[in-house]
Chain A
Amino acid sequence: MTLSHNDVWGNTIQYDNVSPGTGGISVNPEFVDPGNGDYHLAADSRCIDAGTGVDGLYFDYDGDRRTGTLLDIGADEYHMDPFFVPLAVKRYRP
């Protein structure tokens, strides 16, 4: 068995008879609102960009795309809320 890039935190003993492996961390994953069932990663979560991606796993639980070289730990890939960027559109005039 091999372990890598897991966040194991808040357990009485984090690991027993097994090593964390490459990239293992032990920090509060910082969910958005776990008390009300929202286990998406908050913006300041250390799980963001703490993984390297898994071959063939291109989307997260919500169907959001996992993109980039550094990917998030857990079922959710963090995405910033989309915001509107005004574009300077130059109208074509023949």
Chain B
Amino acid sequence: MRRALLLGTVTMAMGLFAAAGWWLAMIGTATPAGAATLCAPTVTYTTIQAAINAAGDEDTVRIVYGTSYENLDITEGITLQGGWSKECGSRTYTDPQYTVIDGGATDHVVEITGGSTARLESLTLTNGQSQKGGGVYVSSASPTLNNVVVTGNVISPTGSSSAGWAYGGGVYVNKGTITLTECDITYNTSYPGVSEICFGGGLALQSEPLEPAIAVIESTRVMSNTNPSDSTLYGAGLYLDPQSQVTFQGTDNLIAYNEAKAGGGVYMYGDVDLEGVLISDNYASSNGGGLFLGSGFSGGRIANNYFLGNSADQEGASICANDTGVEIANNTIVGDFAGSGAGIQIDSGGSGTLELTETTSWSVMPLASRWRTCLQ
């Protein structure tokens, strides 16, 4: 009896251990793959791309500060974090200027696809060149860029038909959501001397039917993106396709000192909402120094924005809008300058019912509102 009891106790104890082991195995299985941290460039991963290829969802790739010459492809939900010391012993810099990825003017610097929710931190992405997304190309993905500088990238059109047009010198988003926090998108350009059309020197959102491209932007500056040799760049700061969605959070976003042929600050359509952003000191060599509103769409609202000191050589120093049924409300417009036309230019040829309401227009010159053709 005692022997049977002892045997029973041992059996029960073994059962408990077995159960514990099973649970431990379950816990091990449940541990997220993101626990892994990789370091590049190192002896193990001689390139950043090699570390990305070895990483899985939720893993972090720490990048040693310095300049790496690569074009990165990301399809997983990884984190790329710049500023680490050799062998990633410590985080030396959070300032993005110390960790540079140079695309060698051959492709996007970073391509993010495949449903990735990647997070990029403390990086400078430069010298990329592509038809779409010189610096960052996003398609069917939802990445976050935090404290990233996208600078000195180029878009290059491949032909004069719409298939050859170029989009997004700094950042291009198609079918996905990009979140930008504390980023600088600066000094990106269209390829010099080409007459084919380029859209969005800094950022371009290109939507598909029922699949909008979305940007959530906070504490970010889109500045000094330009149109060299007077090429055909529309929307030197932002280009927003029909159906696109952009949300500016907080009060320190800035679209400034961008230069385009039309739409120095922003080129967009009348079904897009543009709210709560400061658009200042942008320039268009034709029309729409601050904003050019394209034709053919309606239902959007341009509200709660400051337009300060924008200029155009021709019409619409602050806003050049086609009359397509958009509501322009509660904006403050100050100190614009148009070479031959109005501060706010409304194209009378449209069939919509554009409303201009509750807006302050205090312009240096010349006219506040005038009905004439709003050409690109």
Interface, chain A (partner B; CB < 8 A): 1-18, 28-29, 31, 34, 39, 47, 51-54, 56-57, 59-63, 71-76
Contact = CB atoms under 8 A, between A and B. Distances in A.
A34 B358 contact: no
B363 A54 contact: no
Contacts of A71: 358
The A contact surface, by secondary structure, is: loop
B329 A11 contact: no
8 contacts: A1-B346, A2-B353, A5-B358, A39-B334, A51-B357, A61-B276, A62-B251, A75-B306
Given A29-B362, A61-B306, A73 B330 contact: yes
A74 B367 contact: no
Contacts, number: 132
Contacts of B363: 10-11
Given A13-B367, A18-B346, A63-B251, A6 B330 contact: no
Interface residues of B, number: 39
B343 A73 contact: no
A75 B367 contact: no
A3 B366 contact: no
Nearest to A7: B360
Contact of A6 (B276, B348, B360, B366): B360
Interface in B243-284: 251, 276
A18 B355 contact: no
Interface in B317-372: 323, 327, 329-332, 334, 342-343, 346, 348, 353-372
Contacts of A75: 304-306, 330-332, 360
B204 interface: no
Contacts of A51: 330, 357-358
A91 B302 CA distance: 50
Given A5-B358, A47-B360, A74-B360, A54 B305 contact: no
A54 B330 CA distance: 8
A5 to B, nearest CB: 5
Given A75-B332, A76-B332, A61 B358 contact: no
